[in-house]
Structure 1
Amino acid sequence: MTPEDKAFLTDLFDAAVAAADPVKALEGHLPDPPRGRTIVIGAGKGAAQLARAFEDLWQGPVEGIVVTRYGYAVPCRHLKVVEAAHPVPDASGAAATEEILSLLGDLTEDDLVVALITGGGSALLAAPPVGLTLEDEQALNKVLLASGAPIGAMNAIRKQASRVKGGRLALAAAPARVVSLVVSDVPGDDPAEVASGPTVPGPATRATALAAIRAHNIDLPENLQRYLEDAPEDAPAPDHPTLSANSVQVIASAAQSLEAAARLAESRGIAAHILSDAIEGEAREVARVHAALAREVKTRNRPFATPCLLLSGGETTVTLRQVGRGGRNSEFLLSFALAAEGMDGLAALAADTDGIDGSEDNAGAFADGHTAASIRAAGIDPAEALSANDAWTAFAACQGLFVPGPTGTNVNDFRAILIR
């Protein structure tokens, strides 16, 4: 890949991230100050940056707590920021969640709760229900992450095994009004799915969760399966009367970020085509479809004429076959590199907009039509690495990793394929 193409793809990623900048996202979406207290709560990989932006924009006293991933905190003047584990919850996240619940316990109808919710909050808000433990919640996340199930199915299950997910955190704040400001990292931008919707109820029930378990052959530990079958009540429904005064706004999303990247490409003379902002499916299979489309464009100049840029977002999944190093974007790109091998005039980037893809410190990776050969030249079989879910090792060997560091936001996968 030429340095110019790598720089161009990096600029596209930066434009996508900038479109979800916390200050820009919050401007114009702040509620009116209440007669009583203003409490800010939040969770997610971008929650600390949103909290600091809220402090800068809010006129009046504010208090509260947000929880973010280790390494993602930024200093705030009035709001407490706690770091915890992601994607598997830990004791720090559980303690922060209890502190949030305590803060919400004595509010009145004159008070306002502002919930700053971004992707990653599902793991960071750990509050197992009576009958389950933190260890059970950790086991549940591990099983779901390895299952290959889509995010909607995983969230349907998580919501029924928590004291805060699925709108329950908003119930805990009653009678105070809750305004949820959401940075979406889910296909379709349903705010009830972001971070498993702690303050935004959705339609999922225990029956939905059990159906998802059956549909995706998810093998839960026996006590978790039994709990879901016998849980005392469903998560609150969207029409729950206690939540009728609450409001929710999606303030940043993958669609907005892809559109920003497209505008930048077109300003530089490259026609940009957004395939979708809501692509789901097994990462390696989605990659083969993208590679087939790129090959059609390259060899037959259809359905798009070259030069052009293909953009897509959403949230792919990985079914763990072996425990290698990497994440869904790295796995996508390794599969893409194999399927597009031998193609000239091709440059691709796949990365997570939060800056971290899976288990390592990279957001994703770069690849072109010669990446697979470069990996082999470094002594690694790319097909074997893909089979072992070890994309990080393959890209590290050919210096193809993309490591921007934590970005302070999270609108999910970003994929850009340049075809000249």
Structure 2
Amino acid sequence: MTSTPSFPVAPGAWRDDAARAALRRIFDAAIHSAQPARVLARHLPPPPRGQCVVVGAGKASAAMTAALEQAWPDVPLRGVVVTRDGHVATTSRIRVMEAAHPVPDRRSEDAARAMLDAVRGLGPDDLVIALISGGGSALMELPAPGLTLEDMRALNRALLHSGADIGDMNLVRRHLSQVKGGRLACACAPARVLTLAISDVPGDDPLTIASGPTVPDPTTPADALAVLRRRDITVPPQVIDALTRPAPVPAPPNPDNRYILISTPLMALEAAADEARCLGLTPLILGDALEGESREAAIIMSGIAQSARHHDLPVAGPAVLLSGGETTVSIRPADGPPGRGGRNTEFLLSLALALRGQDGIWAIAGDSDGIDGTEDAAGALITPDTLSRARALGLDPRDFLRRHDSYSLFDATGDLIRTGPTLTNVNDIRAIMVL
């Protein structure tokens, strides 16, 4: 059993256990900074003169609801929010529902209907607080007229496998929904809507976070059709019909509606940078909105890390390169049946292969919600001897990467990071330590 390393660690004194512990502290600091209990209360307005109805969707919505109830212990509240299975928090006044993610199920439809029921018949003195976070697109799904839930499930699977980025995915989903793309806010009128959101998308675009249920949508059904064609996604005729026939015009929302981002990926990376400084590391934030194929992004990151290792550029070690955003994993028929893994473990396996056992470089990557893809791990950690340890177990890392089976490899090497549901979601956190 190794002893717990003390920090900061002097240059030249880093060992594998110290490097692993430091990376985990940096990752945990980013997640801790985005907890609703830490950030929500400061953004609340005075309680309304009329009713206060709470609705919401996302992986953090239950924790946001609990934080709201704690901040307003004496304010009458009612409403309903929906979160992913296993992401519940204790509430007493507001109903918390659970549904499937990333592909919606019947409970997603039930949740959307429950929210529309909750905001029906409100007046101008009433306030709706919408608690929105990543994952809401699947958790709150009410198909447009003429479509079924199974149509939307098939579409979601096709979008996920296409490699489409989250902006394109949610553009399509907005135009096939009765609650997304601002339609939930329209249903609340004439009541005011205050949206408190935790961003999990590159660029923090409110229209993309949970498909923007409270945000006016300037895009068109033709834009959604263009995404499907560009991504070569085959959809049933009824989806095409829904995107080509005239849509009903909803009542306008209250012009005094407000939208506030209470936590973002950049805020989380800044908290990670603060923790890195406490550990004696120089942090460099490379960006909070990195996109593209996971395995290709890893090759680029490998080049940056090796430049820092050998040339002290763009930063001299001991340092940590921080980045956020949401990469993608495209599943191609030629790859065969996909194995187990998410975008973060795929990123790390590709990064390990690109580094080729380079001394002095460790890395961690994980989804801040605690679930990488559909697995039970947030992500994983790699070390200079990751490849040699895998091969000593008889595993071929390149074959695992080809089959999108990164989770299985890191499970075998003991390098998975399991946090359980964190009850927040500010997208992926990646940290590469260069010593």
TM-score bracket for this pair, using the shorter chain length: over 0.9
- CA contact under 8 A between 1:187 and 1:278: conserved in structure 2? yes
Could you tell me how far 1:233 is from its partner in structure 2? 5.3
1:84-99 matches, cutoff 5 A: 84-99=99-114
Per-residue CA shift, 1:293-333, capped at 9, x if unaligned? 11111122222111110000011111113321111111111
- CA contact under 8 A between 2:298 and 2:347: conserved in structure 1? yes
Aligned partner of 2:293 in structure 1 is: 282
Aligned partner of 1:31 in structure 2 is: 45
1:22 is aligned to 2:36: yes
Aligned partner of 1:49 in structure 2 is: 63
1:385 is aligned to 2:400: yes
Could you tell me how far 1:207 is from its partner in structure 2? 1.9
The one-letter amino acid of 2:41's match is E
1:206 is aligned to 2:221: yes
Aligned partner of 1:320 in structure 2 is: 331
Measure the CA separation in 2 of the matches of 1:136 and 1:57.
Answer: 40
Aligned partner of 1:250 in structure 2 is: 261
Aligned partner of 2:5 in structure 1 is: none
Return the match for 1:10 from 24, 34, 44. 24
- Distance verdict in 2 for CA 1:233–1:343, change over 3 Å: farther
Measure the CA separation in 1 of the matches of 2:51 and 2:408.
Answer: 50
The one-letter amino acid of 2:432's match is I
Return the match for 1:149 from 152, 161, 164. 164
Aligned partner of 1:298 in structure 2 is: 309
Bigger mean CA deviation after superposition, 80-89 or 319-328: 319-328
Return the match for 2:188 from 168, 173, 185. 173
1:333-352 matches, cutoff 5 A: 333-352=348-367
- CA contact under 8 A between 2:144 and 2:242: conserved in structure 1? no
- CA contact under 8 A between 1:341 and 1:371: conserved in structure 2? no
1:100 is aligned to 2:115: yes
Measure the CA separation in 2 of the matches of 1:241 and 1:131.
Answer: 23
Calculate the aligned-residue CA RMSD, in Å: 1.5
1:68 is aligned to 2:79: no
Measure the CA separation in 1 of the matches of 2:253 and 2:304.
Answer: 49
- CA contact under 8 A between 1:118 and 1:410: conserved in structure 2? yes
Could you tell me how far 1:175 is from its partner in structure 2? 1.0
The one-letter amino acid of 2:95's match is K
- CA contact under 8 A between 1:49 and 1:74: conserved in structure 2? yes
Per-residue CA shift, 1:187-237, capped at 9, x if unaligned? 111112100011122322112212222222222233323322335258x7x
Aligned partner of 2:7 in structure 1 is: none
Could you tell me how far 1:382 is from its partner in structure 2? 1.2
1:231-250 matches, cutoff 5 A: 232=247, 241-250=252-261
Measure the CA separation in 2 of the matches of 1:243 and 1:220.
Answer: 35
Return the match for 1:311 from 297, 302, 322. 322
Identical-residue share of aligned pairs (%): 49
- Distance verdict in 2 for CA 1:377–1:201, change over 3 Å: farther
Measure the CA separation in 2 of the matches of 1:54 and 1:324.
Answer: 40
Measure the CA separation in 2 of the matches of 1:303 and 1:383.
Answer: 29
Measure the CA separation in 2 of the matches of 1:184 and 1:124.
Answer: 16
The normalised TM-score by structure 1 is: 0.96
- CA contact under 8 A between 2:41 and 2:67: conserved in structure 1? no
The normalised TM-score by structure 2 is: 0.93
Aligned partner of 2:153 in structure 1 is: 138
Measure the CA separation in 2 of the matches of 1:399 and 1:363.
Answer: 14
SS class of match (1:188): helix
Measure the CA separation in 2 of the matches of 1:84 and 1:123.
Answer: 8
Aligned partner of 1:226 in structure 2 is: 241
The one-letter amino acid of 2:268's match is S
* Aligned residue pairs, count: 416
Measure the CA separation in 2 of the matches of 1:144 and 1:171.
Answer: 27
Measure the CA separation in 2 of the matches of 1:222 and 1:383.
Answer: 40
Q: Which runs of 5+ in 2 are unaligned?
A: 1-14
Q: Which runs of 5+ in 1 are unaligned?
A: none
1:358 is aligned to 2:378: no
